[in-house]
Amino acid sequence: MNKVRIVFMPMVDAGNTNAQSLNVREIAIRLDPERFETTLWYETEPAPRLQGRGIRLLQLPSARKTGPILRELTSGYDIIAYVDYSPASYVFLRLPRSLRRGAKTVLHAEAPAAQLVNPSRTLRFLYEGIVPRCDFYTGITEFVARDVYRHLRKKAGFILPVGVDTRLFRPPDHRTNPGPVVLFAGTLIERKGPQYVIDAASRFPQATFRIVGAGRQGFDEVLRTRISQLSLTNVHLEGPKSQLQMVEIMQASDIFVLPSRLEGIPKVTLEAAATGLPCVVFRDYETPSVIDGVTGFQVGTVEEMMEALGGLMADRSLRERMGAAAREHMKNFDWDAISRQWQNAYLEIAAAQAR
């Protein structure tokens, strides 16, 4: 049987902590090498765990990538996965079918379309020229799949959730913080809601609040100003952290909160749950990573978020029960299980007719 030739578009450099890059690595290392020939891109140094696994790792220049990428994409792949919003994807999707040599493009929708907030003119141009032209679509959840159909009138042929490495993200032996530690992790932008974490720190002075993530467009300075104005000493902005650092931070926390109202399956909720943290999220995007009332809470308003946090802070046994249930729930999202769904989908796509 001929192997399925598949190339993933996200870069997989060692220092790249973008969610798509991390997802691609987990999928690529688990695809059956007897059935797939996998190609990944990098600029400076690929993630070490990708080396020596039979994966083709192609280095790209730091500038003028479009030409080399297009030459590779037209070399006879079966599948181009994780189509991105790049000039190379834009040009490829406008080539005649004969020049694409049968390659099938797959767009993996990982969030609602509304997450594209105030895009630049260039990004809007690329998005509108790429997204409707792909051959196959997948949704990270049923909610996102419905959103794909609502906005594009394209049916997501597969629901492909992302996963978590439960061997890496695991609970500590004991949680012994004298007072509850509440963790937020994510990009520091208004849409993610870290400003509500600061409000919670003001409301619950008996708890410690950790805000981890890189600032964008100066929003971290907005948060620092707010902390100073409120004279808070129980909330800390800690900047971006590596994956291994996040494991330690989650193990040293008691509760995870994500006030964002526009997500797919937030990767951090999988990681937090795998380390035994009850999670408080908003129900707007119907994430399956949190079972309301069992592994944490899905709330509808900021006030409900505060009430859920207050209840968890006041009841250690509730935190422990929900944390244990969260860890158990993550067995369903372990990458070893999730990757099999991706592999089966790619085999079906390779055998199907392109749109």
Instruction: Encode pLDDT of 56-113 as tens digits.
Output: 999 999 999 999 999 999 999 999 999 999 999 999 999 999 999 999 999 999 999 8
Confidence of residue 15 (pLDDT cuts 50, 70, 90): confident
Q: Which helix (H) or strand (E) holds 239?
A: none
If one compares 24 and 117, the residue with the highest pLDDT of the two is 24
pLDDT at 292 over 70: yes
The pLDDT value given to residue 113: 86
Backbone φ and ψ for 198, nearest 5 degrees, come out as -65, -40
Mean pLDDT, to the nearest integer, of 120-124? Answer: 93
pLDDT at 354 over 70: no
Q: Which residue has the tokens 């990458």?
A: 335
pTM here is 0.93
Question: Which residue in 111, 91, 112 sits closest to 100, CA to CA?
Answer: 91
The answer to whether 323 and 274 have CB atoms below 8 angstroms apart is: no
Q: What is the CA radius of gyration of the chain?
A: 21
Confidence of residue 221 (pLDDT cuts 50, 70, 90): very high
Question: Which residue in 20, 22, 46, 43 sits closest to 244, CA to CA?
Answer: 22
The pLDDT value given to residue 245: 96
3-state secondary structure of 60: coil
| Cα 328 from chain centre | 20
CB atoms within 10 A of CB 343: 17
Please give the CATH number for the structural domain made up of 181-333: 3.40.50.2000
The pLDDT value given to residue 53: 92
Two tokens at 120?
Answer: 């630049």
The pLDDT value given to residue 294: 98
- Those residues whose C-beta lies under 8 Å from the C-beta of residue 203, and which sit 6 or more positions away, are 306
Task: Report CA torsion sign: 181, 185, 188, 192.
Answer: negative
- Those residues whose C-beta lies under 8 Å from the C-beta of residue 307, and which sit 6 or more positions away, are 299
Q: What mean pLDDT, rounded, does the chain reach?
A: 95
Backbone φ and ψ for 256, nearest 5 degrees, come out as -115, 135
The pLDDT value given to residue 305: 98
CATH 3.40.50.150 fits 4-163+335-351, yes or no: no
Mean pLDDT, to the nearest integer, of 266-272? Answer: 97
Give domain limits for the chain. 4-163+335-351, 181-333
Q: Note whether 4-163+335-351 and 181-333 share their fold.
A: yes
The vertex-20 CA angle with 18 and 22, nearest 5°, equals 70
pLDDT at 1 over 80: no
The pLDDT value given to residue 355: 55
Confidence of residue 315 (pLDDT cuts 50, 70, 90): very high
Task: Report CA torsion sign: 257, 261, 267, 273.
Answer: positive
The pLDDT value given to residue 170: 97
The pLDDT value given to residue 119: 85
Backbone φ and ψ for 272, nearest 5 degrees, come out as -65, -45
Task: Report CA torsion sign: 7, 11, 14, 17.
Answer: negative
Q: Which residue has the tokens 């032209």?
A: 133
Note the pLDDT tens digit of each residue in 145-170.
999 999 989 999 999 999 999 999 99
In angstroms, rounded to a whole number, what is the distance separating the alpha carbons of residues 24 and 14?
Answer: 13
Question: Which residue in 355, 348, 350 sits closest to 78, CA to CA?
Answer: 350
Mean pLDDT, to the nearest integer, of 320-331? Answer: 98
Q: Which residue has the tokens 């895009």?
A: 119
231: left (phi over 0), alpha (psi -120 to 50) or beta: left
